[in-house]
Amino acid sequence: MNLADPIAGHANRARNLVVAIISATPIFCEALADVFEGIGEVRTFTPRSGETGGLLRALRPDAIVIDTEEELEEATDFARESGAALLHVSLVESTLRSWNGSGWTDIENDAWSPESIRNALIGAMYQRGGSE
């Protein structure tokens, strides 16, 4: 399977992956944007109460990485509706989990790095795409 190929069930069929990163930590956004270079188009946003759902619906990303609890419910609603992959990274609790369509799956992440988060997100995208 080629990363440039469309993923079944995702909105962005004929172009690079679109990844939305919603984070209150600019350096986190920068680090993730760097590791997606050549793989996908990254759009970074600071969390804005009540605006996340509309923002995601307008952008229609294939995948979302979010590090804030405040906007997590809206991001989860979008992922449920659209089939987009969703990772929740808790920088405070040092946890990483993936939305599987009906609940959260914890992801083992011993080596916290932008690459490990990227790899977890790509894995989640293919798991979701393969189950539809």
Q: What's the confidence (pLDDT) of residue 128?
A: 66
Q: Is residue 49 part of a domain?
A: yes
The strand pairing partners of 104, in sequence order, are 99
- pLDDT (tens digit, 9 = 90+) per residue, 79-128? 999 999 999 999 888 889 999 888 999 988 777 789 989 988 988 888 76
Q: Is residue 37 part of a domain?
A: yes
DSSP strand E in 34-121: where? 40-45, 63-66, 85-90, 95-99, 104-106
Q: Is residue 34 part of a domain?
A: yes
Q: How far apart are CA 23 and CA 47, in angstroms?
A: 6
Q: Is residue 5 part of a domain?
A: no
Q: What is the CATH number of the domain that holds 99?
A: 3.40.50.11220
Q: What's the confidence (pLDDT) of residue 30?
A: 92
What is the value of pTM for the model shown? 0.83
Q: Is residue 47 part of a domain?
A: yes
Q: Is residue 8 part of a domain?
A: no
| Domain with 74 in it | 17-104
- pLDDT (tens digit, 9 = 90+) per residue, 51-89? 899 999 999 999 999 999 889 999 999 999 999 999 999
- Specify the number of domains making up the chain: 1
